[in-house]
Amino acid sequence: MEAGKQAGARLIRTGKENKNMSALRFLWLVLSLCTSLAMAQAGRSAEEESAEFVGHIRSALRPLTQADDDYGPLIQAIGDARIVLLGEATHGSREFYRERARITRRLIVEEGFDAIVLEGDWVPLRRIDAYVRGRGSDPSGVDALLRIRRFPRWPWRNTEFQQFAEQLLAINAALPQPLRVAVYGMDLYAVPDAAREVIAYLDSVDPSAAAQARSRYRCFLRYENDPEAYGRNLAARKIRSCRTSAEMQFRELSRRMARSAGVPDEALFSAWQSARVVKSAEAYFRALYGKKTSSWNVRDRHMAQTIDAIMKQHVFSGRAGKVVVWAHNSHQGDARMTAHAAAGELSLGQLMRERFGERAVLVGFSTYSGSVRAATEWGGIDEVKILLPALPESFSALMHEAGTPEFLLMCRGVLEEKRDAERLERAVGVLYLPDSERESHYYPVRLTRQFDALIHIDTTTALDVLD
């Protein structure tokens, strides 16, 4: 879940990161002028370029009809991939969840994928993992998801994801416990939950080590209700850094992991990952108000490290270690194909391509209009909002012009070599401000190289939340 405070648009960022967007917009203007000049020299107008690209879309798209074979070309292209990243253009659109669920079910049943990693927090999502693996205390998926209480709740606490959890439970019922599909979170915001997980584990195996962990985490947990205040106070030189304490505790759990080699210990693995969350969160909030490090990069690198650890743990436990990731387009796409690269920002999709090459498959989503569930301010109340029609100069507008309500578009080997002028892509996170649509929610990309495939749903509807 695009935990809201960052993505490729200002509204998904916070604090210091907002300053980067003016530079990105300026860069896009420069690139647009260069592109326009190049087309003028070649005797081609922007309208002609757009019309040609719409023609390419129409010739390559595959309509989605809710038939079983809708995603045949995508499944075939995935082949022996180790990781498939399924994006979303917003955090609050029902159809993106529906289609990701359809694809994920096929990958589990037909291709042996055994882990689903979400843009959500590690500890809160352990409850839904226990439920789908048939070993939790929650009587239903609704009960498990209602444990997600921190803002924003709706990206996972919704009816679409609840129905998918019940489907996972049914799939897992036919598998032996050690091989059941697992669900994980990969984000770093829920610091208090992660710290308590570490302490609770150590309380059960080594009370003296637990006491030491309490002492180390006391530094950071003073900011439990406002972790950004840690970054602000540190930048203002009002407090000492908690970095050493967080890193020492992670090293301590890493040593325990090393000593457990040969014995898969899921409780220790979860505590170790929780210690990583605290360490990465400290670095993130420190970078958010610092000058030397991109907090965006800290977060996406943390996500990549989490996925790497999950893969290794699954292989170590006798499973395939093949992962499906659900997160926002701004994380799932390749940042090198967007203006973010010029700003020194990377993405999870880029990191996975660098590691796995063609065995990483990046799938983006787009929509033209409809409704969306979002908030107006960070920490605010979510509501159903009208999603404005996409800007004419965006890729979503070209998808709309193709005239097919829902379709799959394969980019790798099909469209990636076509002329792909830089255009705008819309990114709606947990916040949506239609009154500042262009400034808040658009950034420039080269779409057919940003993703290996794209799924377009022309009209999308807002998620229903679980109360």
Report the DSSP pairing between strands 383-387 and 115-121.
Answer: unpaired
What pLDDT, on the 0 to 100 scale, is given for residue 13? 44
Cβ atoms within 10 Å, residue 83: 26
Question: What number is the average pLDDT over the span 189-209?
Answer: 96
For residue 85, the cross-strand partners are 325, 362
Which residue(s) pair with 343 in the sheet?
none
Residues 298-334: tens digit of each pLDDT: 999 999 999 999 999 999 888 999 999 999 999 999 9
pLDDT of residue 420: 61
pLDDT at 1: 40
Tokens of 249: 């505790």
Structure token pair of residue 88: 């979303």
User: Residue ranges of the domains in the chain?
Assistant: 10-186+322-460, 191-316
pLDDT band at 52 (very low <50, low <70, confident <90, very high): confident
CA atoms within 13 A on the CB side of 304: 20
Which candidate, 148, 62, 80, 70, places its Cα nearest to that of 105?
70
Mean pLDDT, range 259-279, rounded to an integer: 90
Separation CA 92–CA 85 (nearest Å): 18
H or E stretch at 432: none
User: What are the C-alpha distances in Å from 241 to residues 63, 319, 370?
Assistant: 54, 40, 46
The pLDDT of residue 38 is 45
Q: Which CATH architecture has domain 10-186+322-460?
A: 3-Layer(aba) Sandwich (3.40)
pLDDT on residue 7: 36
The pLDDT, as a whole number, for residue 53 is 87
Q: How far apart are CA 443 and CA 339, in angstroms?
A: 7
Q: What is the pLDDT of residue 421?
A: 73
Which pLDDT value is given to residue 322?
98
Give the number of other CB atoms < 10 A from CB of residue 200: 15
Rounded mean pLDDT, 291-302: 93
Q: pTM of the entire structure?
A: 0.91
Q: Is the pLDDT of residue 14 over 70?
A: no
Summarize the confidence of residues 12-18 as an average pLDDT: 40
What burial class does residue 236 get, using C-beta atoms within 10 Å of its C-beta: 0-12 exposed, 13-18 middle, 19+ buried? exposed
Strands 453-460 and 83-86: unpaired
Give residue 262's pLDDT. Answer: 64
Residue 101 pLDDT grade (very low, low, confident, very high; cuts 50, 70, 90): very high
Distances, alpha carbon 438 to alpha carbons 11, 388, 460, in Å? 11, 11, 19
Residue type, 436: S
89: confidence class by pLDDT, cuts 50, 70, 90 = very high
pLDDT digits (tens, 9 = 90+) for 248-261: 999 999 999 999 87
Percent of the residues in the chain that have a pLDDT greater than 90, as a whole number: 78
CA 98 – CA 101 distance, rounded (Å): 5
Res 272 pLDDT > 90: yes
The SS3 assignment for 171 reads: helix
pLDDT digits (tens, 9 = 90+) for 397-444: 999 999 999 999 999 877 766 656 789 999 999 999 999 999 999 999
pLDDT at site 359: 97
